Structure 1
């Protein structure tokens, strides 16, 4: 299990998003008092950090519960999480072993739809064609081994 959470602040423009991501990293990043207190760290990320398929914003999943509330219980905040297949696209395009292991575990547990992931890889910006092709090959070969 990872002991870090990636947070993309949504702001009016990329410069403000970058400023907020840096602020998050400084306050709650690795080796921070936040990490000491809560047992995990928060990485502020930019839009350019991950490769995401077309339409990802429309598929964000809201998370609102007692754990997203302020210490007194009010207000209750909403966290917006990537759809599970969109997350797999981003992980596979990063091409790190830990990300491939993560996606393989989801596939083996039948928690994601490989056909959906393959379809979303096809929607990536042409600038990411090489990563999409590598991810497609890897996922197809994993599917054949299963």
Structure 2
């Protein structure tokens, strides 16, 4: 999807509703940040939207321009109505909307880092693909996303917070210093589906458990309580053995392997 396609859909919505300002959320909010975006972030054909001044009209508009409509058949994409209170979003998201003028309409795109929170909340495979493309392209900011997730989201239930924090921890564990993701480690973590991931504290800690993955500059250890610990190994002179139980001790940043 491209901005010009968003414009076509919203101008059609304006003709029907006489509204000329619309909020765009979901995957295609990335178009408010960059056009063209990474392909994996803009593959969606449904445009999550609502009229800025009258959110209740979104359903009416989608009757003519939504899924399986003539508009959908002609263009290959469609408007998908949402309500502003529906997504799990951090406080202040309205103030961070990105305004883009498109012909006779104005689109207000959800900030991509706010969109990321809702992606983690849902955690479907395609949500993770969107997030990972955003990190690799340098579009998403994991520190900002994590701070929002921990301190500025009103969660419906505690399990929603745990899901989001776990997803962020997965990506942080696989993130290289340049912000890109270590693909092999990322694939392993997705397959393992851990409930909790932590990065090793190198001040004064001992970790005991089996080494379940090793790769370039990383080792993954499963603790006795099931937690996965990610060790940065680039400075290690001795590597732990895969599938063996190890005690890994840190003292003032120095590692001892037992």
**TM-score, scaled to structure 2:** 0.48
SS at match of 2:99: strand
Aligned length: 132
Deviation at 1:34, TM superposition (A): 1.0
How many Å apart are 1:128 and its aligned residue? 4.4
Tell me the SS of whatever aligns to 1:133.
helix
Please name the residue that 1:10 is paired with.
52
SS for the counterpart of 2:105 is: coil
Which SS does the other structure have where 2:51 is aligned? coil
Is the Cα contact below 8 Å between 1:6 and 1:42 reproduced in 2?
A: yes
Once superposed, which parts of structure 1, at least 4 consecutive aligned residues long, lie more than 6 Å away?
Answer: none
Aligned equivalent of 1:137: 166
Kindly indicate whether residue 114 of structure 2 is the aligned counterpart of residue 86 of structure 1: yes
**Following TM superposition, by how much is the alpha carbon of 1:80 offset from its aligned partner in structure 2, in angstroms?**
0.2
**Residue of 42, 56, 77 corresponding to 2:93:** 56
Q: Deviations over 1:52-82 (max 9, x none)?
A: 1100000000011xxx22xxxxxx2210000
Which residue of structure 1 lines up, in the alignment, with residue 214 of structure 2? none
More strand by share: 2
Q: Return the structure number with greater helix share.
A: 1
User: In 2, distance between residues paired with 1:37 and 1:139?
Assistant: 39
TM-score (norm 1): 0.82
SS at match of 1:127: coil
Which string of whole-angstrom CA distances, capped at 9 and with x for unpartnered residues, describes residues 27-65 of structure 1? 11111111122221110111233111100000000011x
2:80 is aligned to 43
Stretches of structure 2 that go unaligned for 5 or more consecutive residues are 1-42, 176-258
Aligned to 2:60: 23
RMSD: 1.6
Bigger radius of gyration among the two: 2
Q: Which runs of 5+ in 1 are unaligned?
A: 70-75
Please say which of residues 92-101 and 121-130 is displaced more in the overlay: 121-130
Deviation, structure 1 residue 136: 1.3
